[in-house]
Amino acid sequence: MKSYLAAAVQMTSVPDLDKNLAHAEDLIDLAVRQGAELVTLPENFSFLGDEAAKLTQAETIFTASEAFLRKMAQRYQVTLLGGGYPVPAAGGKVYNTALLVAPDGTELLRYEKAHLFDVNVPDGNTYRESNTVLSGQQLPHVHPSKQLGNLGLSVCYDVRFPELYRHLSQMGAEVLMIPAAFTAFTGKDHWKVLLQARAIENTCYVIAPAQTGFHNSRRQSHGHAMILDPWGVVLADAGTEPGLAIAEISPARLAQVRQQMPSLQHRVFI
């Protein structure tokens, strides 16, 4: 692993596939021009809106999203994460799938979101992700990279389930990617502290691309795409407007924190 710049992209995706992909490309281009070698896109980067419309267009969104990720990774010669898009599955539902692609366009990691957001949020919104999405039944894998470190993958609501991240750290993860579309109501209280907890307890970098703003008349995302170091320090925060959080991933800092706080070596119950 070497020192490099990573970018967590922040978007306001809408129910318009072409518009979202064009916006994503602009932000990938911006990240690369700033030196990023790992670029991460948020959950629902290619489509965010009415669930019925997403299901109707699922095949089109899936095909376009995967082609886009491979094309952009090759065009900009970066490792690129697409943080979540629908992949048609059994029973008319979809998997909420994240895909990590190498600079040559090949697939490095694929993960189907396990924890589904079925919650009555106190702001009056009700979310039933399981109505349209199948839960992935496989634990996420870690991609070992001599250049970028050992990369672990998860999606949004997963961040509330620390056992998933303990699994990733046991598999050798050094960088945890948590693409999200966190609600504005829950995000204001929980987003930052959950990211810090996952970074601190696993002594890992955390890269968390995010959705922000209003996606339709009711759905609003929290924003604050972030990159955190293994001590839980926020290195970059994109705020509430579309854009980037960009920061250095440093093997020296990772080694320093793990030496100062060797908690992963002190586990009793494994």
| Cα(137)–Cα(139) distance, integer angstroms | 7
What is the average pLDDT across 207-231?
A: 93
Give the CATH H-level superfamily of domain 4-261.
Carbon-nitrogen hydrolase (3.60.110.10)
With beta carbons less than 8 A apart as the criterion, state whether 70 and 88 touch: no
Tokens of 102: 């190498």
Say what the pLDDT of residue 239 is.
98
What is the average pLDDT across 93-118?
A: 97
Q: How far is CA 119 from the centre of its chain?
A: 20
pTM of the model: 0.96
pLDDT in tens, 176-204: 999 999 999 999 999 999 999 999 999 99
Say what the pLDDT of residue 18 is.
97
| Cα(244)–Cα(265) distance, integer angstroms | 34
Domain ranges in the chain are 4-261
What is the average pLDDT across 95-124?
A: 94
Residue from 121, 187, 123, 129 nearest 159 by CA: 187
Q: How confident is the model at residue 26 (pLDDT cuts 50, 70, 90)?
A: very high
What is the average pLDDT across 206-226?
A: 92
Whether 253 has a pLDDT exceeding 90, the answer reads yes
Answer yes or no: 156 catalytic. Answer: yes
| Cα(129)–Cα(117) distance, integer angstroms | 5
pLDDT in tens, 34-91: 999 999 999 999 999 888 888 999 999 999 999 999 999 999 999 999 999 999 998 8
Whether 218 has a pLDDT exceeding 80, the answer reads no
Mean pLDDT of all residues in the chain?
A: 96
Residue tagged 């972030």 (tokens) = 226
What is the average pLDDT across 129-144?
A: 94
Strands (E), the chain: 4-11, 36-41, 79-88, 94-101, 107-112, 118-120, 126-128, 133-134, 142-143, 151-153, 175-177, 205-208, 210-214, 220-222, 226-228, 234-237, 243-249
Whether 124 has a pLDDT exceeding 90, the answer reads no
Residue of 54, 156, 174, 192 marked active site: 156
Whether 122 has a pLDDT exceeding 90, the answer reads no
Answer yes or no: 43 catalytic. Answer: yes
Residue of 37, 43, 66, 129 marked active site: 43
Length, in residues, of the chain: 270
Burial class (CB in 10 A: 0-12, 13-18, 19+), 255: middle
Residue of 54, 113, 129, 192 marked active site: 113
Say what the pLDDT of residue 126 is.
85
With beta carbons less than 8 A apart as the criterion, state whether 127 and 139 touch: no
Q: How confident is the model at residue 264 (pLDDT cuts 50, 70, 90)?
A: very high
Tokens of 211: 């959705």
Say what the pLDDT of residue 8 is.
98
Whether 143 has a pLDDT exceeding 90, the answer reads yes
First to last CA, the chain: 26
With beta carbons less than 8 A apart as the criterion, state whether 111 and 175 touch: no
For the chain, the farthest-separated pair of C-alpha atoms sits apart, in whole angstroms, at 52
Answer yes or no: 248 catalytic. Answer: no
